[in-house]
Amino acid sequence: MMASRVLRRSGLAVRALCSVSPAVAKPRRSALAVLRAPARAPLRRNATQGKPKTSQESTAKSMAESKASPEDELMERPLTASETVSAGFTLSLLAFGTVCFGFTVYALWPTGISPNGVFDEAFAQLGKDERVLRTFGEPLKAYGHDSGGHREGRRNFVVHREEKGEDGSKRMKVRFNVKGPYSGGIVYAEASNQLNMRQGEWVYLIVQDKMTGKVITICDNRSSLALAASAKSPEEKEAMMRLLKGSDNY
């Protein structure tokens, strides 16, 4: 009886040990799982850290597209009728302003055979002529006049006209006023790009007294230039021009 009891107790002990061994093994497995878990954690962290970067990039792209979209729409969409009219009007104003500026520079800049260049040179030569000084007196002043001819002044418009001569030369005609202590007069002058007006070579340079109607001819080579233009050969034309420059009209 005692032996059977001992055997039963030993069997119960073995069973208890067998029932306890799985419980003991489980904590070991969970411990291993806990030890292995940190190796996977960095991968999960990297994955979670990568998501905000992609969302920031997408947000930046969307903001850039939203900023560029209005410009793209303006570049691609057609102009309305009012915008087209406004753009055309602006371009017309710019073109008109450019033309006016060029004309003003051409008319006022005293170079070559521009209107003011002919005006200045003609007045300078009138001031050296004794007949002009005796008729009008000193000091002698030169004036332009407005479109109606009612007001005269140095800064007013100098009447001029550009033409092409019979010989193919470029001509510039001007008309202005002179005034001295004795009287006033009207000056008529025409210059050519083939003549040197600074050396006294003019197509014509004439002044008329307003009070008496007297005409003072400083230079008049119209007939000689017409004759030179009718020359049949370049040699004849050159000879006529030499005679013209050596005449007493200069």
* Residue 246 pLDDT level (bands cut at 50, 70, 90): low
Could you report the per-residue pLDDT of 53-68, keeping only the tens digit for each? Answer: 456 666 666 665 555 5
Burial classification of residue 171, based on how many CB atoms lie within 10 Å of its CB (0-12 exposed, 13-18 middle, 19 or more buried):
buried
Find the helix packing angle between 115-126 and 81-108, rounded to 10°: 20
Residue 184 has pLDDT above 90, yes or no: yes
- Could you tell me the fold of the domain covering 119-245? Nuclear Transport Factor 2; Chain: A, (3.10.450)
Check residue 48 and give its pLDDT: 46
Average pLDDT over residues 183-212: 94
Check residue 193 and give its pLDDT: 92
Q: Report the first-to-last Cα separation within the chain, whole angstroms.
A: 171
* Residue 224 pLDDT level (bands cut at 50, 70, 90): confident
Could you report the per-residue pLDDT of 135-181, keeping only the tens digit for each? Answer: 999 999 998 865 444 555 555 678 899 999 888 889 999 999 999 99
Q: Please tell me whether residue 6 adopts helix, strand or coil conformation.
A: helix
Paired strand residues for 144: 153
Q: Residue 189: which of 165, 171, 206 has the closest Cα?
A: 206
Q: Where are the domains of the chain?
A: 119-245
